[in-house]
Amino acid sequence: MVDLTINTDVARQILTGFIRSEVTRAGFSRAVIGLSGGIDSALSCALAVDALGKENVLAVRMPYRSSSPDSLAHAELLIKQLEIPSKTIEITNMVEPFFALDPNITQLRKGNVMARERMIVLYDQSEVFKGLVIGTSNKTEILLGYSTQWGDSASAINPIGDLYKAQVRQLSRAMHIPTVIIDKAPSADLWDGQTDEGELGFTYEQADQLLYLLVDQRYSLQECVDAGFDKQFVNQIINRVRRTQFKRMLPPIAKLSNRTVGYDFLYLRDWGT
């Protein structure tokens, strides 16, 4: 077993510093977070509160009619604990007319539409609350590409994108996120009974361990097999990471001129600040 334990004091200090610095340098003092009731958004939210103060973080709950009541309740639990302003904006009436346009719409398409509708709501609330949208994708799901592009993956800054799922759990415990949120099965809650691990076909623990060796430690396929991983599983993960690279990038621009955005027009976001 690979030890993914992190020093949570150091992580907390760096991540809250990051949120404070990157929000204020963009000219803001507030943040908006879509609170799903799950662990990732709970952690991002708690970090943002640490960084910006409780009055400066707006939690937005965006249920669909089939969303699990637990999701709403767990989000509520955190909102109460952190004493932060919140809004509940149901997306049912926004997405159902769209679903009705095509009787053949699949569950996957519906899931994507809901994820993108939530993005629309969040970015609208960003303008209302004058706060930046804080990302809630962890390293495991980013590497697996387990997200809806421009949907749940959309944000202004992401404090938890370099933490594997196990590390998200560890830091969440250190930050006193309610245990019920930490311990429940991760789910996008896009349809009844959906769980991440059921859909992916493997556990986050397996994925964390293997991704750490492949990505952080640069192990080859054979070295992963020698370390005890099933060859088919390793291949599956390697292919998945490769296949979903597009989700981790901005769209490539076809180069014509001598200076092209994305290739040789290179500036950080913090340029001039």
Partner 1 sequence: MKLHLALAQIATKLGDVESNLEKHIDYIKRAKSNKADLLVFPELSLTGYVLQDIVASVAHRPTEDDPVFKHLLKASHDLDLVIGFVDEDERHRFFIASAYLSGGKVVHVHHKVYLPTYGLFDEGRFFAWGDSIRSFDTRFGRVGLLICEDFWHASPPYLLWLDGADLMIFSSASPGRGLNDKEKLDSARWVERVNKAYASMFTSFVAHCNRVGFEDGLLFWGGATVNDPNGDLVAQGPYFEEALTFAELDLNQLRRTRARLPLLRDERTALVQKELDRILARGRSNH
Site for partner 1 in 9-28 (CB under 8 A): 9-11, 13-14, 17-18, 21-22
The nearest distance, CB 262 to partner 1, in angstroms, is 12
Using CB under 8 A as the binding rule, whether residue 65 contacts partner 1 is answered as: no
Q: Residue 225's CB: how many other CB atoms inside 10 A? A: 16
Binding window for partner 1 (CB under 8 A); candidates: 4-12, 29-37, 39-47, 129-137? 4-12
We find the least distance from the C-beta atom of residue 245 to partner 1, in angstroms, to be 18
Q: Give the separation between CA 154 and CA 139, rounded to whole angstroms.
A: 14
Q: Which of 65, 176, 243, 269 binds partner 1 (CB under 8 A)?
A: 269
- What is the contact mask toward partner 1 in residues 126 to 165, using x (rule: CB under 8 A)? ------------------------------------x---
Give the list of residues 6+ apart from residue 72 with CB closer than 8 angstroms, or none.
Answer: 37, 61, 63, 88
* d(C-alpha 240, C-alpha 202), whole Å: 13
Q: Which of 1, 5, 101, 201 binds partner 1 (CB under 8 A)?
A: 5
Residue type, position 257, single letter: S
Give the nearest distance from C-beta 23 to partner 1 in angstroms.
11
Amino acid at 77: L
Q: Which is nearer to partner 1, 8 or 92 (CB)?
A: 8
For residues 10 and 172, what is the distance between their CA atoms, to the nearest angstrom? Answer: 14
Assess contact for 132 and 26: CB atoms under 8 A. yes
Asked if residue 29 binds partner 1 (CB under 8 A), the reply is: no
Residue 271 near partner 1 by CB under 8 A: yes
DSSP H or E run through 141: helix 139-144
CA distance 45 to 35: 8
Footprint on this chain of partner 1 (rule: CB under 8 A): 3, 5-7, 9-11, 13-14, 17-18, 21-22, 162, 264-273
